[in-house]
Structure 1
Amino acid sequence: MPDNDPLQNTSLSHQIAEKITNQIMSGELQPGEKIIEANYAKEFGTSRAPIRESLYLLATDGLIERIPRRGAVVKGYSEMEVYDLLELRMMLEGLAMKRLADLEQKQPTIKKMEDTIKEMDALDSRDDKAYALLNQTFHLYLIEMSGSKTIKDMYTRLSRQLLVLQRMSFLEEAHVRKSIEEHKVILDLIKKGLVEEARVILDMHNQGIISRIEQKIFPHKK
């Protein structure tokens, strides 16, 4: 995964944060559910200090929120917040595509994207969590190719929230297969230097994700 992957950190607080993130992604922890610090202290054999640090990290990433007299709970997203997050993602990726230049210098990243697609192809398409992680990796490489630290930093700040939301769009095997094929088309167009055409497909790809999340979270929109 890209060097700035927010999930890659071996400190105890980050391990605990990753555990909680995985529980949110899997649905084990639901929006509004309280995070019980004592459970994680017991599981990891630690004091409350690393737990509280992990909760601080997750609050910064927008996955939990602190509510007076309740403590830390899993964040639920309003309809506007969901659309804001997904549209910000589209805007940043679209801007990154416009920054693509000198593809010869991007070959190492293109190779990583090819390897990511191979991993997608080899994955059990019913494993929506693993696919969501690979999907995020591919999109982070797109951002990386822009060469813009500003775009990369802004995108990374949204990564955990987007990961949780995007997983909801890959709950059906057909959606996973469709997504893989779209990634292949996007990368093929980029390799041919057809960046604008790739951007159009990327926009359609992202619109599809928005539609699927819309049907999952906001069924009244059907």
Structure 2
Amino acid sequence: MTAATPIRQGSLGDRIADDLRVRIISGTLRPGTHLVEGVLADEYDVSRAPVREALQRLAGERLVRDGRRRGVLVVGLTAADIDELYSLRLALEQLAYERAITCDGPETRWDAARAAIEEMRAAATSQDGARFGEADLAFHQNFYRIADHGRLEAFWDQYRPTFSALFGISIRPVADLQRSVDEHVTLLALALEGEIEGGKRELRLHLARAREVMIQAVLPGDLS
């Protein structure tokens, strides 16, 4: 098992989950790998409790599963898994998008989306993919937050770390980042104009392109 940097402060369970998630999605930890609490606790130089918390989080994201007496087994992500994630996200995000547009609220409710677009522009200019990914997710999070729908937010909170890890391992050319900025500008403009159906069509195209990028990052050559 690849050594990890010891974690000594902060939210240990979250931070261990973040590290393991990237190692799983990037393929550093292969499907079928056994993850044993005691071994991981030694590796991260922590007690077993935050390791157990991290593994429970990853199990909730279906990246690992209980291997009974053999510990926890890495499941990983297949193209079918990424399809499931993006098809579910599309269905729920279209609902969030529509509710965000139609809900009563001040125009300032879109300020976080505007700020995220500016952050994406800056990240694209500096070719900072990780920064771009976090700004991208912050833009979409705005729809879930102002949709005023607790279960939609719960979905986003559960799977945002998975999407963040996917962004973290994807390498995208500057032209692709700039195009993505333009897509987000269009999504926001349509929302501000109250164009629900047009916005949902654009969202569908946007997430379809994102799915292709992520499959290429995790499984190069597989766009089936």
TM-score normalised according to structure 1 size = 0.78
2 CA distance for matches of 1:203 and 1:169? 20
CA displacement at 1:74 relative to structure 2: 3.8
Residue 183 of structure 2 is aligned to residue 182 of structure 1: yes
The residue aligned with 1:4 is none
Match of 2:86 in 1: 86
Alignment CA distance shift 1:57-1:210 (3 Å): closer
How far is 1:110 from its partner? 0.6
Count of paired positions:
212
| Larger CA deviation: 28-37 vs 12-21 | 28-37
Q: Deviations over 1:69-101 (max 9, x none)?
A: 543344322333221111000001111222234
Is the 8 Å Cα contact of residues 190 and 199 (structure 2) preserved in structure 1? yes
Say whether 1:154 aligns with 2:123: no
Question: What secondary structure sits across from 1:126 in the alignment?
Answer: coil
C-alpha separation between the residues in 1 aligned to 2:106 and 2:30? 40
Deviation at 1:169, TM superposition (A): 5.4
How far apart are the structure 2 equivalents of 1:172 and 1:39? 38
Q: Which residue of 1 aligns with 2:221?
A: 219
The percent identity for this pair of structures is 25
Verify the 8 A CA contact 2:65 2:74 in the aligned structure 1. Answer: yes
- Given that 1:34 and 1:70 are in contact with CA atoms closer than 8 Å, whether structure 2 keeps it comes out as yes
Partner of 1:134: 135
User: Structure 2: how far apart are the matches of 1:31 and 1:127?
Assistant: 27
TM-score by length of 2: 0.77
User: How many angstroms does 1:23 deviate by?
Assistant: 4.2
- Matched with 2:60 is 60
Listed as ranges, the gaps of 5+ residues in structure 1 are 1-9
Partner of 1:110: 110
RMSD value over aligned CA atoms?
2.9
SS of equivalent to 1:105: coil
Structure 1 position 135, deviation (Å): 1.4
2:101 and 2:191 in contact (8 A); partners too: no
Measured at CA, do residues 208 and 155 of structure 1 come closer, stay the same or move farther in structure 2, by a change above 3 Å? same
**8 Å contact from structure 1 (residues 67, 73) kept in 2:** yes
CA distance in 2, matches of 1:218, 1:44: 30
Structure 1 pair 16–76 and aligned structure 2 pair: CA distance change class (3 A): closer
> In the TM superposition, what is the alpha-carbon distance from 1:31 to its structure 2 partner?
3.6
